[in-house]
Amino acid sequence: MKIMSTEQFKSETKESTTDLLNEKELDDAVLPIIQQVKNDGDAALFDLTEKFDHVRLDQLLVRPEEFKEAMEGVDEAFLTSIRQAKENIAAFHQLQKEETWISQPKQGITLGQKVTPMDRVGIYVPGGKAAYPSTVLMNVIPAKIAGVDHIAITTPPGKDGKVNPYVLAAAFETGVDTIYKVGGAQAIAALAYGTETIDKVDKIVGPGNAFVARAKKWVFGDVAIDMIAGPSEICVVADETAPVDYVAADLLSQAEHDESARSICVTPDANFAHKLEQEITKQLEKLERQAIAKQSLEQNGKIIVTDDLEEAFEIVNIIAPEHLQLMIESPAEYVDLVKHAGAIFLGHHSPEPLGDYFAGPNHTLPTSGTARFASPLGVYDFIKRSSIIRYSKEQLQQSADSIINIAHVEGLTAHAKSIQLRKDDQ
């Protein structure tokens, strides 16, 4: 974990470049998989699952008895927790619902917007070695609230050919009954183009590894996607009031995700920075995923010392972090200084895992600086908006000359004639 000044951070940021070689390597792996699925459908999915997940499946669809087995196998404490989280997530996302609206700005003019849910959505849930039931909740619940007709989940099976029981239990609790045992770039291709078993969807959402993210980028346009997510990241703004052990634990909570995760603390207190560095070393020794977290911190961990809090927020807005924790005195007073962040956590008792699992706001957030232009996943990601326009004959007559003038300037004379015909029809 490097301690650096604002100037050093800015200089390092300017020098960073995109790894084009890595992108080429990803494309060389992903594009043939997409084409194979388009050409061979289910057969490709069976073959690719055997190749990458080391299991030969007899069918792709999770059967009803597998849901039953999962619900009987998970402990009651987990089910209680997942139901409480579901309630919080649903309550928050209900507030995001949009309704169709109609306006009549003048007599004879009706304008509006019709809100319609998408028909079919595919959700990618990472699996295999790990279980991510929280991903199921955060993606399914807003889609359900939006009114999506059909929600399909794809997730890689374990070597036993089964989907993780905690993922299945979360899916059952949220009302999803269509889950396919397929992961990786092949799952994205199947959702985008369809196979004999898996129907083509309108939009693909959900996190995944680099191959999943790259596949989403390539199918975009044929199907909608939520975002192309990069490694997880956290930025903590801390002053002398922040408990140093809390800050260290929160930075490590992101570093344990994977070696590419980014954990950054920005502080105006140089003394705090050195204490934090020591505390991170101390806590790291006891971490179960120590090797992953250590590599993450060595590669991407930073403690940036600024002149004051105002400068700290300048750094925050350069980073545009996925998760931003304000562990400072009176954090609410500084929210207006934040221009770019996926989620903002206020105070010493609002750590990032609270948002990951339980509070209610979505944990699918923009990463890699995309918070400059992107938002968290929400109900609005599962709807479409159609404009409504109606003019009376009298109102069109009044507007005709203006429309004709603009059409002629653009050289679209047939547009002008469409209006002129109605103007002349007195």
| Under 8 Å between Cβ of 30 and 330 | no
Q: Are residues 258 and 157 in the same domain?
A: no
The total number of structural domains in the chain stands at 3
Q: Are residues 198 and 296 in the same domain?
A: no
Write the secondary structure of the chain as one string of H (helix), E (strand) and C (coil): CEEEEHHHHHHHHHHCCCCHHHHHHHHHHHHHHHHHHHHHCHHHHHHHHHHHHCCCCCCCECCHHHHHHHHHHCCHHHHHHHHHHHHHHHHHHHCCCCCCEEEEEECCEEEEEEEEECCEEEEECCCCCCCCHHHHHHHHHHHHHHCCCEEEEEECCCCCCCCCHHHHHHHHHHCCCEEEECCHHHHHHHHHHCCCCCCCCCEEECCCCHHHHHHHHHHECCEEECCCCCCCEEEEEECCCCCHHHHHHHHHHHHCCCCCCEEEEEECCHHHHHHHHHHHHHHHCCCCCHHHHHHHHHHHCEEEECCCHHHHHHHHHHHCCCEEEEECCCHHHHHHHCCCCCEEEECCCCCHHHHHHCCCCCCCCCCCCHHHCCCCCCHHHHEEEEEEEEECHHHHHHHHHHHHHHHHHCCCHHHHHHHHHHHHCC
Q: Give the end of a domain, one of 180, 210, 225.
A: 225
The answer to whether residue 323 is catalytic is yes
| Under 8 Å between Cβ of 263 and 301 | yes
Q: Are residues 238 and 201 in the same domain?
A: no
Q: Is 353 domain-assigned?
A: yes
Say what the pLDDT of residue 16 is. 55
Q: Are residues 272 and 357 in the same domain?
A: yes
Structural domain span for residue 397: 393-424
Q: Which of 323, 340, 348, 363 is catalytic?
A: 323
Q: Is 289 domain-assigned?
A: yes
Q: Which of 233, 256, 279, 322 is catalytic?
A: 322
**Helical pair 290-300 and 244-255, crossing angle rounded to 10 deg:** 100
Mean pLDDT by runs of 10 across the 426 residues of the chain is: 89 62 87 98 98 95 96 96 98 98 97 98 86 95 97 95 95 95 97 98 95 96 93 95 97 92 96 97 94 94 96 96 97 97 97 96 95 96 98 96 98 97 90
Distance of CA 408 to the CA centre of its chain: 44
Say what the pLDDT of residue 15 is. 61
Q: Are residues 51 and 123 in the same domain?
A: yes
Q: Give the end of a domain, one of 200, 225, 250.
A: 225
Rounded Cα–Cα distance for residues 9 and 20 (Å): 23
Q: Is 134 domain-assigned?
A: yes
Q: What residues contact 240, with CB distance under 8 A and at least 6 apart?
A: 269, 271, 272
Q: Are residues 347 and 239 in the same domain?
A: yes
Q: Is 69 domain-assigned?
A: yes
Q: Is 127 domain-assigned?
A: yes
Q: Is 382 domain-assigned?
A: no
Q: Give the end of a domain, one of 194, 225, 256.
A: 225
Q: Are residues 265 and 299 in the same domain?
A: yes
Say what the pLDDT of residue 17 is. 46
Q: Are residues 359 and 255 in the same domain?
A: yes
Say what the pLDDT of residue 229 is. 84
The answer to whether residue 322 is catalytic is yes
Query: ∠222-121-132 over CA atoms, to 5°?
Result: 115
Q: Are residues 133 and 45 in the same domain?
A: yes
In this prediction the pTM is: 0.92
Q: What separation in angstroms does the CA of 210 have from each of 34, 187, 214, 228?
A: 15, 14, 6, 9
Distance of CA 253 to the CA centre of its chain: 18
Q: Are residues 330 and 413 in the same domain?
A: no
Q: Is 257 domain-assigned?
A: yes
Find the CATH number of the domain harbouring 347: 3.40.50.1980
Q: Are residues 35 and 172 in the same domain?
A: yes
Q: Is 385 domain-assigned?
A: no
Q: Are residues 204 and 86 in the same domain?
A: yes
